[in-house]
Amino acid sequence: GAGVSQSPSNKVTEKGKDVELRCDPISGHTALYWYRQRLGQGLEFLIYFQGNSAPDKSGLPSDRFSAERTGESVSTLTIQRTQQEDSAVYLCASSRTVSGNTIYFGEGSWLTVV
């Protein structure tokens, strides 16, 4: 596709439910990143995938968060047993390579936990 595509764009869920967020990177981009941005806050790194290498999960805030990516295609971020503090926009980004290359963001998935 022309840009990074994320779905759903908006999600309202009840506390305790699981949610799944999807990201489709720009075609040909090998690196994929997930960030979280709470209202009025900065971007918080969550996880990074590069090709078939083991992902860098150092930013995941708890074991309720997990992500997968198949090859160099779609990634899914899963949040289990959602809590109110999980409410945020989840931004996916991709880049062509890792060596200093620019990352491009999708429009984000806005998650509200009630």
Partner 1 sequence: QKEVEQNSGPLSVPEGAIASLNCTYSDRGSQSFFWYRQYSGKSPELIMSIYSNGDKEDGRFTAQLNKASQYVSLLIRDSQPSDSATYLCAVILSGGSYIPTFGRGTSLIVHP
CB 94 within 8 A of CB 33: yes
CB 4 within 8 A of CB 105: yes
56 binds partner 1 (CB under 8 A): yes
In angstroms, give the least distance from the CB of 16 to partner 1.
27
65 binds partner 1 (CB under 8 A): no
Amino acid occupying residue 10: N
Q: How far is CA 26 from CA 13, 45, 53, in A?
A: 28, 19, 19
- The C-alpha atoms of residue 81 and residue 79 are separated, in whole angstroms, by 7
Written as six digits, the tokens of 102 are: 């620019």
106 binds partner 1 (CB under 8 A): yes
Out of 2, 54, 100, 114, name the contact with partner 1 by CB under 8 A.
Answer: 100
- Among residues 14 and 42, whose Cβ is nearest to partner 1? 42
Out of 50, 76, 87, 112, name the contact with partner 1 by CB under 8 A.
Answer: 50
Provide the binding-site residues for partner 1, judged by CB under 8 A: 31, 33, 35, 41-43, 45, 48, 50, 56, 89, 91, 98-100, 102-108
